[in-house]
Amino acid sequence: MREEQQHPLLLHPNNPNNMVDGRITNTDDLIGGERKTWDELKKIWKIAGPSIFCRFAMFSLTIITQSLAGHLSDLDLAAFSIATTFLISISFGFLIGMATALETLCGQAYGARQHHMLGIYVQRSCRFLQSQLKMAIIAWSSAVSLGVHAIISWLFVYKLGVGIVGTALTLDFSWWLSVFIMYGYVLYGGCPKTWNGFSWLAFTDLWDFFKLALASGVMVLLENVYYRLLVIASGDAGSSHVDVDALSICVTLFGWESMVPLGILAATGVRVAIELGAGNVSGAKFAAKVCMLTSLIIGMIFSSLVLAIPDKLAMIFTPNSSVISVVRKLAYLLAPTIFLNSIPPVLLGVAVGSGWQALAAYINIGSYYLVGFPLGIFIGRVLNFGYMGIWAGMLGGSVIQILLLAIVAVTYGWEKEVQKARGKHILMDKAVDD
C-alpha cells in the first residue's frame, strides 16, 4: 500500500484509506465526536466559504441590475425579471450543470493523488479551480467583478441615461470580466501541479465525460428553472403586474439565498469526491452528514429573516407600496421554501461527488415536472387559489424530491463507486504513460 501523503483535506482520524490487503473496509463509521465534527466543518468551510462568497457576488451582479431596473419603472422590472429567468435559469443553469461533471472527476482524481489528470479534465469543462481548492482566486475574481459592476451600472444608468439597455450591457461585461481573470490565473502559472498545457488526452474517453456532463446539466437546469416557472405561470394566469413584480422579487430573494446551500453543494461534492477518490467511504458519508446539518441550520436562519423583515427586503428592489404589500403576504410561502431548499443541494452534492447525476436528474423530472408543477397548476387554476396555489403545489414537488434523493443517498453503493473511480484513473494513467 502506498504511503499516505499529508494534505489538510485528506487527514482522517483512523486509517485514511480504509484499506486492508487491497480491500475497502469500514473500520469506523465516523458518527459523533466533537473533534471529528469540528475538523470536518473546517474542511467544508474552507471550500464552502469562498464558494458562497463567489456565488453571492456573481448573483449580486443580477441583483444590482434588477434593482436599478426596478427603480427605473415597474415595467422595466417585469421585463428584466422575465429576461433573466430565461437567460440565467435555462442557458446558464445547463452550462453550469455540465461543468459540475468536473467536481466528480477532478475531486476523485485529487483524492487519489493523480494531480496531472486535473489538467486533462479541465480541457473538457470549466469547474477546475474549485476541485483543487484554489478558492481564493475564485473569491477575488468575483469581488473585483462585483465592484466594477456596481460602478459602471451607476455610471450607465444615472449618468449616461442609457436605461434598461445599459443595465444589460453592464451585466454582460461583468460576467466576462470574472471569466478572464480566472482563465488568466490558470494559464499564467497559478496551477503548476495540475495545469501542464493543452493535451490531446482531453479528447480521450469523451463519450463517458459527455454523458456525465449532460446528466449534470439536466440536473442543475431542472433545479434552477423550477421556481422561476412560478413567475411565468402566474403571469400567464392573468395576475396583475404588481403580483408578477412581487413574485419576481420573492424568486430573486430565493435565488440569492440559494447561493448559500449551493456553496454547501459545492463543498459536499468536492469533499465526497475526494474521500471516495482516497478510498474512504466512511469519511465521505460523514462529510455528507456534517454538510446536511450545516445547511439546515443556515436554512432556518434565513427563513426566520424573511418572516421578520419582508418589507425591508422588498424595498431593495422597488419603492412601490403595493408590490411591498404583496411581498409581505408571500413571505409566508417564501420562508418554508427557503428552509426546504437547504436540503436538496446537499443531497445533489452527494450525487455530484459520487457520480449519480443521471439518477438525480430523473428524480428532479419526476418530482418537479410530473408532480409538483402540475399539482400547482391544478390548485392555482382549477381550484382558483391563484399564484399562491401554484406555489403551494410546487412546494409539494420539493418535498417528494427530498424524500427520493434521501432514499437514494442512504441506499447508494458507495464502495462500488470507489472501485469504479479507481478503475477509471488506472485506465487514464495508462493513457498518459502511452
pLDDT digits (tens, 9 = 90+) for 385-426: 888 898 999 999 999 999 999 998 888 767 776 666 555 544
Grid cell locating 292: 446536511
pLDDT bin (cut points 50, 70, 90) of residue 89 is low
pLDDT bin (cut points 50, 70, 90) of residue 205 is low
Residues 299/342, Cβ–Cβ less than 8 Å? yes
Residues 376/390, Cβ–Cβ less than 8 Å? yes
Apex 269 CA angle, 218 and 401, nearest 5:
50
Residues in the chain: 434
Q: What does the pLDDT look like over 221-253, one tens digit per residue?
A: 777 777 777 777 776 655 567 887 888 889 888
**Is 198 strand, coil or helix?**
coil
pLDDT bin (cut points 50, 70, 90) of residue 316 is confident
Confidence (pLDDT) at 189: 65
Q: Which of 56, 83, 59 shows the shortest CA–CA distance to 69?
A: 83
CA distance 221 to 247: 20
Burial 125-154, CB ≥16 within 10 A → b, else e: bbbbbbbbbbbebbbbbbeebbebbeebbe
Return the top range by mean pLDDT from 91-95, 220-224, 262-266, 295-299.
Answer: 295-299
**Is 24 strand, coil or helix?**
strand
Task: Please give the residue that has the higher pLDDT: either 348 or 24.
Answer: 348
Confidence (pLDDT) at 3: 43
Burial class (CB in 10 A: 0-12, 13-18, 19+), 204: middle
Burial class (CB in 10 A: 0-12, 13-18, 19+), 189: exposed
CA distance 356 to 13: 28
Mean pLDDT over 261-267 rounds to: 84
Return the top range by mean pLDDT from 80-89, 262-271, 318-327.
Answer: 318-327
CA distance 101 to 116: 17
Mean pLDDT score across all residues of the chain: 74
Domains of the chain, residue spans: 29-428
**What is the value of pTM for the model shown?**
0.68
Residues 115/133, Cβ–Cβ less than 8 Å? no
Residues 17/279, Cβ–Cβ less than 8 Å? yes
Confidence (pLDDT) at 211: 67
CA distance 285 to 300: 23
Confidence (pLDDT) at 199: 59
**Which residues have CB under 8 Å from 149's CB, separation 6+?**
61, 64, 65, 170, 171, 173, 174
Q: Which of 261, 258, 231 shows the shortest CA–CA distance to 247?
A: 231
**Is 263 strand, coil or helix?**
helix
Residues 353/273, Cβ–Cβ less than 8 Å? yes
pLDDT bin (cut points 50, 70, 90) of residue 85 is low
Confidence (pLDDT) at 112: 53
Confidence (pLDDT) at 370: 92
Mean pLDDT over 25-30 rounds to: 46
Confidence (pLDDT) at 126: 45
DSSP alpha helix (H) spans, 321-413: 321-340, 344-354, 357-364, 373-377, 386-411
What do you get for the CA distance between the two ends of the chain, in Å? 24
Return the top range by mean pLDDT from 43-52, 120-129, 190-199, 412-421.
Answer: 43-52
Residues 382/371, Cβ–Cβ less than 8 Å? no
CA distance 363 to 106: 25
CA distance 161 to 154: 10
